[in-house]
Structure 1
Amino acid sequence: MTALFEHELRDLLAEQLDVLEPGLTLVQCEFALSDPPLRTRGWIDILARDRHGLWVIIELKRAASTSREALHEVAKYAELLQRDKQLAPDRIRALIVSTDWRELLVPVSNMARDWSHDLRGYELQVYDDRTLSAERVALLPPSPEQYVTPVHAIYLYASPQDRDRGWKHIRQIASEIGAPNLLAADFERVSAKDSVSAHYGLYLGIGTVEWGSALSDSPDVDGYGSEHPAEYEALSGINARVRCVEVDSAYPGVLGTLLGNPNWEITGYRGTGAFAPDNGAYEERDWLQMLVGHDRGDGHFKYIGSANPRITSRWRSFVDQAMTSLGGNPEWELLVRAWLERVAEQPGDIDVVLWIYNPCDLIQTVIYGWPDELAQWEPRIKAVARFPDGSRSVAQGMLCANSTGGAPGFHHYVHEVYRDPVSWMTTRYGGTTWISDLDLVRRLGLRYMMLDLASDHPGPPAPEDERGLWLVEDGQAARYSSNDPEFFMTWQLNTYGGKLVTLREFLTTYRYEVNTLRIEYLNGVDVRL
């Protein structure tokens, strides 16, 4: 039949709304909307109600040349209708109906995933007898995110040439078994070379395996590969065939330890698939963050990230990843979440940066950090939120005490929780150290807390700046402001003479017992025998 004009097609569809879905009833064609304060107006092609009483915006497009206008108009009309009728977002739906979906499929699929209103698409067929049929369009599924999983390994080689050949072999194996996304870092021994068997290393992280591949049917495994069985299976396949001097298992955080060791140096990165150097999606800093696990909280106890709460999808991921690294520390988990929620309530774009180190292992902190490197090993949080007006909120999390200690002493409490060094090592291998650590921290009178400071000026804090003391009370996060009367009493109860007792000051009180404990645990002997 002769092609219909768009207004003719609109009137025809208005008479046959059931071809879209049963129960649609016409409200009006060319429904006028306007908002004088916003200086905008428009006309909905067809406004209908569905069988549940929801308002349905039907936007009709006849050809590809006009299809690209559809998203703009649907978004505009949904907002105007919501304001005009004073409706909740879930009371409004939208249908895009077109005879040509070539230009619409990709943008509508993207919008439908994140829009606050239900959005669907229909492809319309017009027959010679002026009857219509419509088929619902299958929108595109989300593109799977490619990221480096916590399944890692280390390979040592005798020479750079051997490492290059090893990488080529690893790529070949991974391609054959269905693991196309790999990320690796080259590292070399730069000093104390006689103490290791090989000087050239390759640190490998396995990227996500796509659903539907042969590996995606891998059986469940125990241990660190339990959350990523397909990737663990891929690593097992690589390790079974790889040729090198030595193979070691690894996990997020191991590369960070290598970075902190002056005997090793990272010299470059390699990748395949989504992480190939010519992909253009990532920079060197991104590759490092992926391998150390900071970008997703996969380091379990360490996280570095930034986000803007107005970008809601990223903000949700940011908060979830931060909470992952705070697992095993319920007090900090509550406090950080509450601080982030408080920050997000402020208007405008806000730049939030979060740095977390949450080992949940006071014994590790003591034996490796005391006394000279305690700042590197003690649990801590640093967070900064910068607001549009130039003001900022700076938060700091720490492990503190409200006293300098007392009888029966540090050594006594440690042995109440850990019978001996073997007992501590057993909890580490079993992944339950955090449980014992909570008990030890409580017995010692230590407490995880947070302080924040709000300032509207650059530079160091000023006496008039508001301070906040964050504590967990009755299972809830509580903030005491220095502007409120109860702040002084709360501060006195949680400090020693009005001064916070830091972990260093607390351990200094017990320095002789701490030194004895270090000897005991580093040498694996019980000094009480």
Structure 2
Amino acid sequence: MNNLEAKIRDYLADNLSILDSGLQLIKKEFPLKNEFGAGGFIDILARDVHGHLVVIEIKRSDQAARSALHELTKYVALLKSTQGISADRIRALLVSTDWRELAVPFSEYQRVCEVPTEGRVIETTGDGIVRSSRTFSVIALETPLNISRCQDIILFANKMARDQSLPLVISAAAAAGLNDFSVFHVSYEGQKSQVIYPFGLYLIFSSPLVSPHEVPDAFKEMGWDDELDDPDENFLCFFRSKLGPLGEESGVGYPEKLQKIIQDGWKVAAVHRNGRYAENSLLLSDDQLLAEATKAEGGAAYYLDRTVSPKYAPSWGAFGRDVDVVLVGNRQWREIFQLLLREAEVAAISTVSASIYNPTNILLSLVAMFRKSEVGYLPRFQLVFTDEGQVKIYIGILGWNGKKVPADGARWIEGAFGSLEDFMFFQHFGCLHDYDDKARELLGITSQVFEICDPGTPRQTISELVVEEGELVKKAVENNQFMSIVQFPKGNPSFGRTLVERIDSVSVGFGE
């Protein structure tokens, strides 16, 4: 929390009536401690006139929307578990000055959260004084829109050609069967002379395009390519066949690419909204649409923050598919996660909340650790199951078997990827996930998952989860059994030195 956000928290703690009349402060930064970093601090804990405990969270300016919602879910679960408070005695307030990214995920969250949760829009001064607050009005959409990870970009040498091509793109999208889609103008306003084509059209669309029973017929019409596993990728090929040659250069887009475009000095603005994206423009602004297209509030190929419930089949199914994408490259986590979701579905767990980070780039993770003790690039996840009867928290972290690595850094790169040049090739084309499991195994680095049942209570148990013959097996955790990956650099200093030297020999600033 930065200085301004801390001032807002302190001001609200002293003036809780701004948020709701009758609130009484219990504590700022209320601690919820637990093993494996599963705890945290509630920004403000209060009590209302009806005796409810009120969890008040202030969304940080640099925090993704769904990450804030995951934290809120976890804090409510830990409050129940560590303090013995039942769900019917808890309510929550999520407070933010900016609701552009929060609008859609919070509206979805209200359907699945276990306790009554209200959003509050606040207006503040530059010194953290809160002038007013009002209730956030949730967005009600009949069928959720979900922007596909498969997107399209067409580049042009001049603005006039780009603008004149917009009707052609719209027509081709409609001819290909799209209804819910939008087209952005992209214009380069940076200083890089390497940018040859500074104008573009960027297409996004909602997925799935068709219902499951319509898939075979749709594939037949598109001319299904067996080499493409994703139906949306096939659709883009179908769209391209309707569009024909256009522009100087074109390519497949995706959320991370769109985010990088924005960071590199491109201006992105919606110029056409079709279908429900046109109908809900008053509810879903252009800024919110762009945030959804970059997956800033939901997740991208390497991270995911989501709160869902098995009782809502469409969002539950989409959650399982998204998890499978984010965990690609980590076979063990992928398998355990899907088995846990199956258990949640069978047990009808009321709320499931996940926060996953999986960059599938162990080389970058290790270089950052050896160079400056940076652990932020290490893959990890948290999964929270909360139900009336019990709270369970699952933690995914990397471990180390404690055996000294015999090879030096350069030889490990060759054994894992073929060569450093091959590694860079795989990184450029987004296929490092095919090599990450092997790269970790060569170093004795393991992907561990721990289950914490009833955290913070006398009944608390901690187990390690493994898969045996397709089934989850719980094993007791001994004090001397676990060795964290953060101990790896200390146990292998020569390996780290040769790894960093090899990287520095071809790339300046890699891992900085």
TM-score, normalised by the number of residues in structure 2: 0.55
Q: Is the 8 A contact 2:255 2:295 kept in 1?
A: yes
Kept after mapping to 1: 8 A contact 2:156/2:162: yes
Q: Are 2:370 and 2:496, in contact at CA under 8 Å, matched by a contact in 1?
A: no
Q: State how far apart, in whole Å, the 2-side matches of 1:464 and 1:191 are.
A: 58
Aligned mates of 1:371, 1:189 — CA distance in 2 = 35
Distance in 1 between residues matched to 2:249 and 2:488, nearest whole Å? 39
Aligned to 1:448, the other structure's residue is in SS state strand
Counterpart position of 1:273? 275
Tell me the equivalent position of 2:441: 442
Q: What letter corresponds to residue 380 of structure 2 in structure 1?
A: R
**DSSP-derived class of the 1:493 partner:** coil
| CA distance in structure 2 between the aligned counterparts of 1:201 and 1:465, rounded to whole angstroms | 59
Aligned-pair CA distance for 1:415: 1.5
1:247 to 247, 250, 268: 250
The one-letter code sitting in structure 1 at the alignment partner of 2:309 is N
The structure having more radius of gyration, on CA atoms, is 1
Matched position secondary structure for 1:501 = helix
Change in Cα spacing, 1:431 to 1:199, as seen in structure 2 (3 Å) is: closer
Q: How does 1:368-387 map to 2 (within 5 A)?
A: 371=371, 377-387=377-387
Contact 2:153 2:252 in 1 (8 A): yes
Quote the residue 2:477 is aligned against.
487
Name the counterpart of 1:332: 333
Alpha-carbon shift at residue 363 of structure 1 (Å): 3.5
- CA–CA separation in structure 2 for the residues paired with 1:223 and 1:369: 38
Alignment of 1:184-263 (within 5 A): 184-187=183-186, 189=188, 191-207=190-206, 217-221=221-225, 224=228, 227-228=231-232, 230-237=234-241, 240-243=244-247, 246-258=249-261, 261=263, 263=265
Q: Give me the identity figure in percent.
A: 14
Q: Which residue of 1 aligns with 2:107?
A: none
Q: Does 1:472 align with 2:466?
A: yes
Give yes or no for the alignment of 1:362 onto 2:346: no
Q: How many residues align?
A: 361
Taking structure 1 as the reference length, what is the TM-score of the superposition? 0.54
The 5-angstrom pairing of residues 338-417 of structure 1 reads: 338-341=339-342, 349-350=350-351, 352-363=352-363, 365=365, 371=371, 377-388=377-388, 392-403=391-402, 405-417=404-416
**Shift in Å, 1:229:** 6.3
The verdict on how the C-alpha distance between 1:518 and 1:263 changes in structure 2, with shifts beyond 3 A counting, is farther
Q: Which residue pairs with 1:137 in the alignment? A: none
**Distance of 1:313 and 1:406 partners within structure 2:** 46
The yes-or-no answer on 1:518 pairing with 2:503 is yes
- Pair 1:240–1:376, CA change in 2 (3 A): farther
Offset at residue 257 of structure 1 (A): 4.0
How far the C-alpha of 1:442 sits from its partner, in A, is 0.8
The alignment partner of 2:360 has SS state of coil
Aligned pairs (5 A) from 1:150-169? 150-156=149-155, 164-169=163-168
* Structure 1: unaligned runs, 5 residues or longer: 1-142, 457-461, 481-485, 524-529
Counterpart of 2:173 in structure 1 is 174
Contact 2:189 2:265 in 1 (8 A): yes
Change (3 A) 1:473 1:216: closer
The aligned amino acid for 1:398 is: I
Unaligned runs of 5+ in 2: 1-141
Q: Where do residues 17-32 of structure 1 align in structure 2 (5 Å cutoff)?
A: none
Which of structures 1 and 2 has the larger relative contact order (alpha carbons within 8 angstroms, sep 6+)? 2
Displacement of 1:447 after TM fit? Answer: 0.6
CA distance in 2, matches of 1:502, 1:373: 11
One-letter identity of the residue aligned with 1:362: I
Cα shift readout 1:238-283 (whole Å, capped 9, x = no counterpart): 663434x643332354234446x36456555743234335467856
Residue 118 of structure 2: aligned partner = none
Instruction: Tell me: CA distance 1:206–1:508, structure 2 relative to 1, closer, same or farther (3 Å).
Output: farther
- Once the two structures are superposed, residues 153-197 of structure 1 have per-residue CA deviations (whole angstroms, 9 ceiling, x without a partner) of 223456777655443331133334544442344555454444423
Task: Note the C-alpha offset of 1:358.
Answer: 2.9
2: CA distance, partners of 1:379 / 1:468 = 21
